Structure 1
Amino acid sequence: MLGFPLGNLLTVIGTALTLVGFYAYFVIDNATLNLAGFFYGIPLLLGGLALKSAELKPVPLARAAAEVIQLRKAQATKTQNQVRQDVTRFRYGQEAHLDVALEKLGLSPSDDERPELVALREENREGAYTLVLDFASPHVDFETWKEKQERIGRFFGPGLRAEVTQPTSDRVEVALIVTAEVPADV
């Protein structure tokens, strides 16, 4: 898993190869180096720029205490791990993190009104591993989130229940809490 954007890497490599191609063409008159620079450099540069335009930055994950990390290893469901891994890395070609899930849950009336996942943290809630998703939700009211709370828990899979809270007027937190009814490897 890359800790930096792939678009940046391709843009830098493509720029370097393109510049080598131009240098070879105009300064040292080296046809082989010139062609290699143009044939590889320009496509890599354009590909890198295309990725940069379609890039979705990772959501910040708050540093968890050692006990919470141990709890994650012992209890976290596959869904919790998948959500955590997906939203904390660079994504390409998506409008927003969890956009499909929000749409299926009826929490995304339109692209402009879709809640935005802005932070993520892990907690120990009464001995249960909990993944907390922090959404900026200025257009979807808290009552709508509360109505969907049970459905959110079912959507994210067996072995989880959801708790929805509102820390501020335009923020909503969704806590995905492991329940004791299902084995930890779900």
Structure 2
Amino acid sequence: MTVKAATVIGGGGGAAVLCSHRLGVCNHRYLLSLNRPSSVPVPAASSSLKMPLSPKPWYHRRLGHVFVSRAANSTQPSPAAAAAADKTTVPDDEFSLAKVSFGVIGLGVGLSLLSYGFGAYFNILPGSEWSAIMLTYGFPLAIIGMALKYAELKPVPCLTYLDAQTLREKCATPILKQVRSDVTRYRYGDEQHLDEALKRIFQYGQGGGIPRRSAPVLQMIREEVTEDGKYCLVLVFEAKALQLSDFEQRQAKFASFFGPGITAEVGKGEKDLYEVRLISDTTV
């Protein structure tokens, strides 16, 4: 292949090669400056110079080696990604009567008895001799079901990591276990979860306290393990009218109410969410 135009600038140990994109020797990808070893001769510029193309010039091999090594390093996972991969959640699919709504059960059974009782009383359905009994028991059951449904407080979601589940039985204090059990089941008659605890900690309507309408509302709980290997129960509250300083001022009260044997930490979450971390002092 014949080189029609090439210019070599420099001498000694280095040279700059400028190539036109119309040449067969170099194209725009190899328009570069390179340090030529002293053992490589510099060809004189000539319009009729013929230069044999090596399939792997020395500078091509060096560039290719650098590219491959960088690609191999980029595939290595970062420490943060490796730590996140170890966080395996445990699905909360264990059946318990505490997770069943008695309001739904009472209302469903009561309405079923009332419906069949009226149908049997008017001879639309068979069993007219039992219609009086079904109407007698169906009406109060339906009323009780509606009352329970009205006063019902649904359980909050619980996110549990696998490493925290293994530590719960050995490291969690009895109070932390009770808190987890209370907020993950249906409750009746309470305005919100942990209502008594929040009333004492935030002192609704008292001097130095907050108005009851500004009370934080428990949204979810999370079981995790701290960096030093301790069991931690995280309470996630939504409080639109409060600031992080309102929780920080009562950090000691959280530790005192849910203690003994725990350390309380508070932090800010997303938007209007605040986290209270109850860390057990018991270690394996």
Matched length? 181
Q: Deviations over 1:86-138 (max 9, x none)?
A: 00011110000011111100265344211010011101012110000000011
SS of the aligned residue for 1:121 comes to strand
Distance 2:278 2:264 in 1: 5
1:33 is aligned to 130
Equivalent residue for 2:197, pick from 101, 105, 108: 101
Larger relative contact order, structure 1 or 2 (CA cutoff 8 Å, min sep 6):
1
Q: Deviations over 1:25-80 (max 9, x none)?
A: 11168664121111110100110011010000100001321x21111111010110
Distance 1:18 1:169 in 2: 48
1:59 is aligned to 156
Return the offset for 1:169.
4.4
1:16 is aligned to 112
From the two aligned structures, give the one with the greater helix fraction. Answer: 1
Identity %: 38
TM-score under structure 2 length normalisation: 0.60
Distance 2:262 2:160 in 1: 22
Contact 1:107 1:114 in 2 (8 A): no
After TM superposition, where is structure 1 displaced by more than 2 Å over at least 4 residues in a row?
28-32, 107-112
Q: Which is greater in Rg?
A: 2
Identify unmatched segments of 5+ residues in structure 2: 1-95, 205-209
**Aligned runs of 1:20-169 on 2, under 5 Å?**
20-27=116-123, 32-65=129-162, 67-106=163-202, 108=204, 109-125=210-226, 126-169=228-271
Distance 1:158 1:63 in 2: 23
Q: Root-mean-square deviation (CA), in Å?
A: 1.8
Which amino acid in 2 is paired with 1:33?
W
Identify unmatched segments of 5+ residues in structure 1: none
Distance 1:175 1:46 in 2: 41
